[in-house]
Chains A and B, each alone.
Chain A
Amino acid sequence: MTAAVELKAITKKFGDVVAVDNIDLTIEDGEFFAMLGPSGCGKTTTLRMIAGLEFPTQGSLSIFGEEVGTLAPNKRSVNTVFQNYALFPHLSVLDNVGFGLKMQGIDKNETRTRAMEMIELVQLEGLEGRKPSQMSGGQQQRVALARALVNQPKVLLLDEPLGALDLKLRQEMQLELKKLQRDVGISFVFVTHDQEEALTMSDRIAVMHEGKLLQVASPEEIYETPVNRFVADFIGRTNLLEGTVSDSETVILTNGTPIRASNDFAAGTSVSISLRPERAKITQQKEDGDPLSSVSGVVETITYLGNARVYSVKFTWMSLEVREENRPGVELYEPGTPITVSWDHDAISVVAD
């Protein structure tokens, strides 16, 4: 596969603030790529550099092999779906969608035909005469997509594209975007702070934090084997049990409990054990279990989620979250019940601090 976008040692500074800190990143042609991180992590700045709306302070940025570091945005074959869409309020949907073609000097008839085709593709036929302000958030989103895709860009950039939509619509659009990406076959690079959205839609995810790239991998890999404590904590929910590596099979928790956990760290390294709430089991305290894969505590609170219950279990030195699916026959535990939380030894991962 060809690299659609390649960043080499890219740094972006705003005055003294380092927004993006020396990152290397390759986005393949045809992949759905997510840049994920909390606000201020540099993900949007990275996207804007690919779009040409910011120029990198250092490093090399190429699109399909062509160096574009300081090329103006109108000279790059990428298009952007902006956060809040940035639709032109004085133009009709048709003129919004046709804008890019008009700017490129494509003749009026062809612009109209291609814009109409794109409007049909995003299922807005009949609304082409409306102004953006007369449309719902979901419709505006489709206009923004059509406006970008009509130019047949080599890469489509999306900045928090679903952020302004309500939950139900967002879930619908996630699937629709994924389908659209498969249909047009180009790479979609999208920025989000919503880890669930990134997991649902992407082929690969880049997790960013404080301007640095922490991990670039498939959703499974990121969820199952996060590289460090931040990634483990940011992607999904997890319990982090702090401790010190004793040997390649054992981690001693801060209160002295030994836990079986295979790891590649040197003895004496401080690490955290990541235990996902849905991978832990609650059992009666009396029951026998592997003492190296369980801890005993007391149920503190229960949060009812409809499809599941989340138990907060209190130990002498910390508390854990355990998620039990709401299936028939699942035993319920009242607050105050002494219980044991256990897990399969391959259900946990050891991460560096």
Chain B
Amino acid sequence: MTITSEPPSENVEATPQFEKAAQRKESRRGLLLALPSYLYLIIFFVIPLAIVFIYSFATRNRFGGTDLSGWNVASYERIAEPIVRTILFRSLWLALLTTVICLLIAYPFAYFLATRRPAIRNVMLVFVMIPFWTNFLVRNFAWRVILGNDGPLTKATEFLGLGTHELLFSQKAVVLGLVYGYLPFMILPLYAAIERIDGQLLEASRDLYGTGWQSFRNVLLPLSMPGVIAGSILVFIPSLGAYVTPEILGGAKTTLLGSYIVTQFLTARNWPFGAALSFVLMAVMLAGTVIYFRKGGRTL
């Protein structure tokens, strides 16, 4: 049998040009669609950030104003001062603690959620979201009432003969409030990651002599790592810069970075120092995000 093929027609030459033109048109349309968000980000994010960056090298004058001259890095040098360092490490520690606690609570719940029937899942996901329907500030004040001296928690512990407690205005209260506030940010990415895992892989692991714990360690956890990393970053970053929760539940004894920065701008009127602190905070967060994309990108 012989195979005959048609000779290439003249139109073949023209195709690449049409293709290129179509690609150019496509990318122009894409740019047009993205333009509003580009403008928004430039006006309300990039420009203010640049201003903050410039201010961090400026000098505070005697009247609490800022002189945009005599550029220096004195504000960055102040970060080495013991009091600043203490606040920085305390913030890092509490953010880390919050993240770990959120992870420990959210993982089993996300697994449970991901293994339910779709109808039940959706109802439970709504329950996870419900707290967002109430203002964050109000919810934090609610905790102040619950933890307060005459609050329901005190009444309950007294009734049970456990005596009183002094949770409010302590680091414990801050962590409690942060965990409460950011738990959904941990649950949702974990749920999304676990939900994507083929349940048959866990069955295969059990079939291959893995115990429940071994199957978790060797199959479920590595495969849900993108969710663990995404959730941890989503909790760690806002916890590190948290302002509202520590202000309301932490009292005066536990100053965190967020409050300290606000103090620099509003009370101490040291804008360059506040700006420098903001940038250090951003650098820490950026480092976290880079780690996420490095690690998460590989496993995704």
Contact = CB atoms under 8 A, between A and B. Distances in A.
Q: Do A and B bind each other?
A: yes
B39 to A, nearest CB: 40
B211 A86 contact: no
Nearest to A83: B200
A260 B206 CA distance: 56
Given A73-B203, A82-B203, A82-B204, A104 B209 contact: yes
B203 A53 contact: yes
A139 B203 CA distance: 21
B206 A86 contact: no
A157 B211 CA distance: 20
Interface in A102-139: 102-104
Given A88-B219, A89-B223, A90-B222, A103 B208 contact: yes
Interface residues of A, number: 25
A80 B201 contact: no
B210 interface: yes
Interface string B195-233: 000101101111111110010001100110000000000
Contact of B208 (A72, A89, A90, A100): A100
Contacts of B206: 52-53, 72-74
A340 B205 CA distance: 60
Contact of A99 (B198, B200, B203, B205): B205
B218 A99 contact: yes
Given A53-B203, A86-B200, A88-B201, A79 B208 contact: yes
Interface residues of B, number: 18
Given A86-B198, A88-B219, A89-B223, A53 B210 contact: no
A264 to B, nearest CB: 44
A120 B128 CA distance: 50
Contact of B214 (A78, A86, A90, A103): A103
Contact of A103 (B198, B209, B299): B209
A90 B222 CA distance: 8
Contacts of A147: 208
Contacts of A251: none
B207 A51 contact: yes
Interface in A58-108: 72-74, 78-80, 82-84, 86-90, 99-100, 102-104
Interface of B: 198, 200-201, 203-211, 214, 218-219, 222-223, 299
10 contacts: A52-B206, A78-B207, A79-B207, A82-B200, A83-B200, A86-B203, A89-B223, A90-B222, A90-B223, A102-B218
Given A72-B206, A74-B210, A87-B204, 11 more contacts: A53-B207, A82-B207, A84-B200, A86-B200, A86-B204, A89-B201, A99-B210, A102-B218, A103-B205, A103-B214, A151-B209
Closest 4 CB pairs of A and B: A100-B208, A86-B204, A86-B200, A103-B209
